[in-house]
């Protein structure tokens, strides 16, 4: 449950100055679009399971395939989508391709969502 706001409620009919201050917090449309794409990507259960495997480790595609019981093609498709949104990164070592979360923001976002679901 969210904490009770520390400021007074805002109503445009009552205070135009507060409305202007509130609008300072409004994110730009392009930012909202990009954030929406990230949340769409995270709305897929298979992608979330992939991310859970990458939380603490860099993992090769073959191992992800074995752990998830999915085809390599299906995993590659999901990873490509996550890569396009900068949620995961990869590196090649010989014939192996290793994936990891792109940064701590992705890890934190996942963990906060998981905490919310488990304790929410």
Give the containing element (helix H, strand E) for 20: helix 16-23
Assigned CATH topology for domain 45-119: Arc Repressor Mutant, subunit A (1.10.10)
Task: Give just the sign of the alpha carbon dihedral 67, 80, 88, 27.
Answer: negative
Sequence-distant (6+) residues with CB within 8 A of 90 are 79, 83, 97, 98, 99, 100
The pLDDT, as a whole number, for residue 21 is 78
Beta-strand (E) ranges in the chain? Answer: 59-60, 88-93, 96-101
Give per-10-residue mean pLDDT for the chain (120 aa): 63 72 89 96 96 96 96 95 96 96 95 91
The pLDDT, as a whole number, for residue 25 is 87
Name the residue ranges covered by the structural domains of the chain: 45-119
The pLDDT, as a whole number, for residue 14 is 66
Residue pair 63/50 in contact (Cβ under 8 Å)? The answer is no
C-alpha 20/C-alpha 17 separation (Å) is 5
Pairing between β-strand 96-101 and β-strand 88-93 as defined by DSSP bridges: antiparallel
Could you tell me which residues are beta bridge partners of residue 92?
97
């Amino acid at each position: 449950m969210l904490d009770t706001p520390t400021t007074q409620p805002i109503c445009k009919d009552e205070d135009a100055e507060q409305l202007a201050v509130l609008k300072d917090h409004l994110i730009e449309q392009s930012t909202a679009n990009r954030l929406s794409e990230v949340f769409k990507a995270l709305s897929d259960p298979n992608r979330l399971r992939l991310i859970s495997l990458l939380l603490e480790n860099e993992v090769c595609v073959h191992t992800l395939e074995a752990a998830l019981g999915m085809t390599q093609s299906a995993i590659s498709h999901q990873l490509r989508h996550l890569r396009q949104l900068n949620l995961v990164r990869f590196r090649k070592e010989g014939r192996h391709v290793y994936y990891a979360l792109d940064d701590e923001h992705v890890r934190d976002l996942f963990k906060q969502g998981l905490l919310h679901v488990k304790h929410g």
